[in-house]
């Protein structure tokens, strides 16, 4: 049976999505949890490869199982075997030609910046803390808008990328400010595209912050 998984995880302490020679990855945790359920190794294909420390609230993955199991039972069994930082939100039986990576039409990222002098301790693993100066959010928002469209994003690609082309289409690129409960402001950058290069989002955010300074 062919299954689409939707997964959420706190990426703190993990080496990222992809299985690595050292360190714990999300892919490895899922594959290790699936193996006893299918009595054979199961390969998990993710829609994207999140980097070390990056979190996910709707990562999509696809798997093929030799045995038949209800999707509800699969979700329960996986969450029983996975650490609490990783949760399978849902499982859905799909057509054999579904592939999490190649069937994806759009992907979205959210990057959060705490632009205040004192960081909320409950946010320490989920924001980039920039205590000062106060960033010019209007200038950052204006710069972010220029990324929309189809462009060559080679300048924002991290070392070690193995893609055939660095051309990507960005459908939405916005940044907004809100007041955080324990101070702030809290800046949220959201970007949606047909795909992203290695370290592309964090490179974009770094450039936006330089503009905001």
Closest Cα partner for 91 from 103, 100, 101, 83? Answer: 100
pLDDT of 178 over the 90 cut: no
Q: What is the pLDDT of residues 87-128, one digit of tens each?
A: 999 999 999 999 999 999 999 999 999 998 889 899 999 999
Residues 64 and 114 occupy one common structural domain: no
Q: Indicate the residue among 69, 93, 117 that finishes a domain.
A: 93
Residues 82 and 27 occupy one common structural domain: yes
Other residues' Cβ atoms within 10 Å of the Cβ of residue 70:
11
CATH of the domain at 88: 3.30.70.580
Which neighbouring-strand residues pair with 168? Answer: 151
CATH of the domain at 151: 3.30.70.660
Residues 121 and 188 occupy one common structural domain: yes
Residues 153 and 197 occupy one common structural domain: yes
Q: Indicate the residue among 71, 93, 115 that finishes a domain.
A: 93
102 belongs to a structural domain:
no
Global pTM? 0.89
Residues 13 and 46 occupy one common structural domain: yes
Average pLDDT over residues 159-180: 87
E-assigned strand segments in 75-178 = 86-93, 107-114, 128-129, 149-152, 167-178
Q: Indicate the residue among 93, 125, 154 that finishes a domain.
A: 93
Domain that holds residue 82: 2-93
Phi, psi of 45 (to 5 degrees): -100, 125
Residues 54 and 13 occupy one common structural domain: yes
Q: What is the pLDDT of residues 54-75, one digit of tens each?
A: 999 999 999 999 999 999 999 9
Q: For residue 40, what pLDDT is reported? A: 86
Residues 84 and 139 occupy one common structural domain: no
Residues 89 and 161 occupy one common structural domain: no
Residues 122 and 177 occupy one common structural domain: yes
35 belongs to a structural domain:
yes
Residues 6+ apart with CB under 8 A from 87: 7, 8, 9, 79
Average pLDDT over residues 37-43: 90
Phi, psi of 78 (to 5 degrees): -70, -45
E-assigned strand segments in 32-78 = 45-46, 56-64
Average pLDDT over residues 39-66: 94
Percent pLDDT > 70 in the chain is 97
Residues 61 and 114 occupy one common structural domain: no
64 belongs to a structural domain:
yes
Residues 116 and 22 occupy one common structural domain: no
Average pLDDT over residues 34-62: 93
100 belongs to a structural domain:
no
Number of domains, the chain: 2
101 belongs to a structural domain:
no
Q: For residue 66, what pLDDT is reported? A: 92
Q: What is the pLDDT of residues 183-199, one digit of tens each?
A: 668 999 999 999 999 88
What residues act catalytically?
A: 51
Q: For residue 163, what pLDDT is reported? A: 80
Which neighbouring-strand residues pair with 177? Answer: 187
Q: 17 pLDDT band (50/70/90 cuts)?
A: very high
């Amino acid at each position: 049976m062919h299954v689409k998984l939707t997964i959420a995880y706190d990426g703190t302490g993990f080496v990222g999505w992809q299985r690595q020679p050292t360190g714990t990855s999300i892919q490895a945790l899922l594959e290790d949890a699936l193996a006893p359920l299918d009595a054979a190794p199961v390969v998990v294909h993710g829609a994207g490869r999140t980097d070390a420390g990056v979190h996910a609230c709707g990562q999509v993955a696809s798997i093929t199982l030799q045995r038949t199991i209800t999707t509800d039972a699969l979700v329960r069994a996986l969450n029983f075997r996975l650490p609490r930082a990783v949760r399978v939100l849902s499982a859905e039986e799909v057509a054999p030609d579904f592939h999490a990576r190649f069937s994806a039409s759009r992907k979205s990222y959210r990057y959060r910046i705490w632009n205040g002098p004192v960081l909320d301790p409950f946010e320490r693993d989920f924001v980039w803390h920039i205590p000062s100066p106060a960033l010019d959010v209007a200038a950052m928002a204006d710069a972010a808008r220029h990324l929309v469209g189809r462009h060559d994003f080679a300048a924002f690609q991290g070392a070690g990328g193995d893609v055939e082309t660095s051309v990507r289409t960005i459908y939405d690129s916005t940044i907004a400010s809100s007041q955080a409960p324990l101070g702030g402001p809290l800046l949220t950058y959201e970007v949606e595209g047909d795909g992203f290069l290695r370290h592309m989002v964090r490179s974009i955010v770094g450039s936006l912050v330089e503009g905001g300074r």
